[in-house]
């Protein structure tokens, strides 16, 4: 069903299924506040559904279900197909990192009896959206002996919340005349930690109070922040949005909405796939997909080679290359929903509308499609045929008006393996903000679409 509102096709029973599916999603989103936590939640789901760690399995045959993690920040799940892995996979690839604020390596300081963490933001944020809202702190501190201590503050209703202050309106004459880009400067995004002084060496120090908290609660010293990864994110769970509860409000939906639906499509697949099914969740998309845990890492290729070997008994260099080249993939990533309050940034015929279903982007990029993966029409014809055959609501869009801006995804990186890739995901309002909005109908249609894609010939 091309470009139709999905709510209109649902029976009352369907609506209940759509609402129920979003309960599972909200629970995931509320827990998966960081890429590490997203991996942990994904592994919980996979193990509960009988997926085994690939490293514990010596050989594989059709129907076997396995998963792999990478440095606690990637996870890939597979159902082995009836065809040889060299014939290619059907892959759903989404990212589990989201824009946020990271704690610096030498973070702790005090100023006029207030203690702070110094920070550096991660990914594209409107900095002014991060002040005067309740924030939570999540991450790990790794001690010199290798022990890892987890930090989670701000999600439990009994926890304190943290935050970043803004100037009072009464004294904002200069600030209010600045552009939105500079109204809150990056170095002013420092996190408030406390205000009670402790006496040390005859001097009052709030920093000492905070260090004592970290020592007592986590057994860490100031120097241990050197090998910590602490992320500051909006506090609190995902919620229903709208009087009709038709939408989900929550932090991190770019791209955990596609991560969850892709993962669940593999987990819930009720047929034996011909081609090996895969959902892969990657990190670092918001900063260019670089590094060991980003989509540009060799991780995925190495795992595919391991699958070839564990199913066929051996894997040549060419086998691994053929498996990648023969693969078909959806780069599962969100689209910019057409926001009626800001119609001027979109071109109406080629925009993504809430509840019109999964959105395919033939290309992304900016200024003359620069940097895009422009999917082949032959490939998209196969996909839209499968969508129609399965009565799935879908639409096509590009990211905004020509020359208005733009953005990229992981599609082009996998495209480099000469595989067919197209972007496909859920439309979002207020993308990259602390409270992103999605439609439950789109979430459900994306999940259904991903299942159909896994069975594509």
Tell me how far, at minimum, the Cβ of 407 lies from Mn ion, in Å: 7
| Position closest to Mn ion via CB | 255
Q: Are 257 and 265 in contact (CB under 8 A)?
A: no
Dihedral sign for Cα atoms in the order 102, 104, 110, 115: positive
Shortest Cβ 125–Mn ion spacing (Å): 10
d(CA 337, CA 217): 43
- Nearest 5°: the CA angle 68, 71, 75 is 35
Burial-class residue 131 by CB neighbours within 10 Å (0-12, 13-18, 19+).
middle
Q: What is the CA radius of gyration of the chain?
A: 23
Residue with Cβ nearer Mn ion (229 or 333):
333
> In the window 146-175, what residues touch Mn ion (CB under 5 A)?
none
Residue 255 binds to Mn ion (criterion: CB under 5 A): yes
Residue showing tokens 């059709």: 62
Strand partners, 121: 101
How far is residue 421's CA from residue 138's CA, in Å, rounded to a whole number?
33
Using CA atoms, how far apart are residues 56 and 66, in angstroms rounded to an integer?
Answer: 9
Beta carbon of residue 426, minimum distance to Mn ion (angstroms, whole number): 10
Per-residue x/- marks for Mn ion, 107-136, CB under 5 A?
------------------------------
Sole window of 179-187, 224-232, 248-256, 350-358 interacting with Mn ion (rule: CB under 5 A): 248-256
Find the binding residues for Mn ion in span 317-336 (CB under 5 A): 333
Q: Which is nearer to Mn ion, 9 or 369 (CB)?
A: 369
Q: Which is nearer to Mn ion, 26 or 284 (CB)?
A: 284
Which of 273/408 has CB closer to Mn ion?
408
Distance (Å, rounded) from C-alpha 352 to C-alpha 3?
9
Give the whole-angstrom CA distance, residue 54 versus residue 66: 5
Separation of alpha carbons 457 and 454, rounded Å: 9
For residue 360 the two structure tokens come to 């395919």
Least separation, in Å, of the C-beta of 425 and Mn ion? 8
State in angstroms the smallest separation of the CB of 257 from Mn ion. 9
224 near Mn ion, rule: CB under 5 A: no
Q: How far is the CB of 250 from Mn ion (least distance, A)?
A: 15
- What does the angle CA 449 – CA 4 – CA 448 come to, to the nearest 5 degrees? 15
Q: In angstroms, what is the minimal distance from the CB of 262 to Mn ion? A: 12
Nearest residue (CB) to Mn ion, 95 versus 448: 95
Site size toward Mn ion (CB under 5 A) is 3
Work out whether the CA dihedral 21, 79, 259, 359 comes out positive or negative: negative
254 near Mn ion (CB under 5 A): yes
Q: Say if CB 357 and CB 392 are below 8 A apart.
A: yes
Residue 33 or 65 having the CB closest to Mn ion: 33
Q: Which is nearer to Mn ion, 190 or 442 (CB)?
A: 442
- Nearer residue to Mn ion within complex by CB, 41 or 333: 333
The residue assigned the tokens 């592994």 is 43
> Does 229 engage in binding with Mn ion (CB under 5 A)?
no
- Give the nearer residue to Mn ion in terms of CB position, either 64 or 254: 254
CB of 258 to Mn ion, least distance (A): 8
Residues 326-385 within binding reach of Mn ion (CB under 5 A): 333
Q: Which is nearer to Mn ion, 229 or 255 (CB)?
A: 255
Of 254-262, 316-324, 361-369, 385-393, the window that binds Mn ion (rule: CB under 5 A) is 254-262
3-state secondary structure of 244: coil
Cα 450 from chain centroid? 16
Nearer to Mn ion, 208 or 255 (CB): 255
* Residue 35 touching Mn ion (CB under 5 A): no
**Minimum distance from CB of 97 to Mn ion (Å)?**
9
- To 10 degrees, the CA torsion angle through 154, 155, 156, 162? 20
* Token pair 């604020």 in the structure block, residue: 101
Dihedral through CA 417, CA 422, CA 423, CA 424, nearest 10?
Answer: -130
Distance CA 306, CA 372 (A): 30
> Of the listed pieces 184-192, 235-243, 252-260, 287-295, which binds Mn ion according to CB under 5 A?
252-260
Binding residues for Mn ion (CB under 5 A): 254-255, 333
């Amino acid at each position: 069903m091309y470009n139709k509102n999905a709510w209109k096709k649902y029976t009352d029973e369907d609506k209940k299924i759509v609402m129920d599916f979003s309960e599972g999603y909200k629970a995931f989103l509320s827990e998966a506040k960081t890429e590490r936590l997203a991996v942990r939640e994904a592994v919980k789901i996979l193990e509960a559904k009988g997926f085994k760690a690939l490293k514990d399995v010596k050989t594989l045959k059709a129907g076997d279900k396995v998963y792999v993690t990478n440095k606690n920040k990637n996870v890939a799940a597979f159902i082995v197909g009836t065809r040889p892995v060299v014939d290619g996979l059907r892959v759903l690839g989404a990212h589990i990192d989201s824009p946020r604020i990271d704690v610096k390596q030498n973070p702790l300081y005090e100023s006029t009896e207030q203690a702070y963490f110094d920070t550096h933001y991660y990914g594209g944020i409107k900095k002014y959206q991060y002040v005067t809202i309740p924030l939570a702190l999540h991450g790990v501190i790794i001690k010199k002996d290798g022990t890892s201590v987890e930090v989670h503050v701000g999600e439990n209703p009994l926890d304190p919340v943290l935050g970043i202050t803004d100037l009072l309106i009464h004294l904002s004459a200069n600030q209010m005349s600045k552009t939105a880009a500079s109204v809150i400067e990056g170095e002013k995004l420092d996190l408030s930690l406390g205000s009670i002084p402790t006496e040390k060496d005859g001097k009052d120090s709030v920093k000492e109070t905070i260090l004592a908290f970290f020592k007592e609660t986590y057994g860490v010293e100031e120097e241990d922040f050197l090998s910590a990864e602490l992320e500051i994110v909006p506090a609190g769970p995902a919620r229903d949005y709208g009087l009709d509860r038709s939408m989900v409000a929550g932090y991190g939906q770019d791209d955990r909405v596609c991560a969850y639906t892709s993962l669940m499509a593999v987990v819930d697949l009720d047929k034996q796939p011909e081609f090996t099914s895969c959902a892969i969740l990657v990190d670092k998309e918001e900063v260019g997909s670089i590094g060991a845990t980003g989509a540009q890492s060799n991780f995925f290729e190495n795992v595919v080679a391991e699958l070839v070997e564990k199913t066929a008994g051996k894997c040549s260099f060419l086998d691994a290359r053929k498996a990648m080249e023969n693969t078909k993939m959806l780069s599962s990533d969100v689209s910019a929903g057409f926001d009626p309050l800001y119609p001027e940034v979109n071109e109406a015929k080629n925009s993504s509308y809430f509840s019109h279903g999964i959105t395919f982007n033939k290309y992304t990029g900016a200024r003359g499609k620069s940097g895009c993966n422009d999917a082949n029409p032959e490939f998209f014809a196969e996909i839209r045929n499968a969508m129609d055959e399965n009565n799935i609501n879908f639409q096509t869009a590009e990211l905004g008006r020509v020359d208005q801006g733009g953005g990229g995804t992981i599609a082009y990186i996998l495209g480099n393996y000469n595989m067919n890739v197209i972007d496909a995901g859920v439309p979002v309002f207020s993308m990259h903000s602390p409270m992103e909005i999605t439609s439950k109908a789109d979430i459900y249609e994306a999940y259904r679409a991903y299942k159909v894609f896994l069975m594509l010939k």
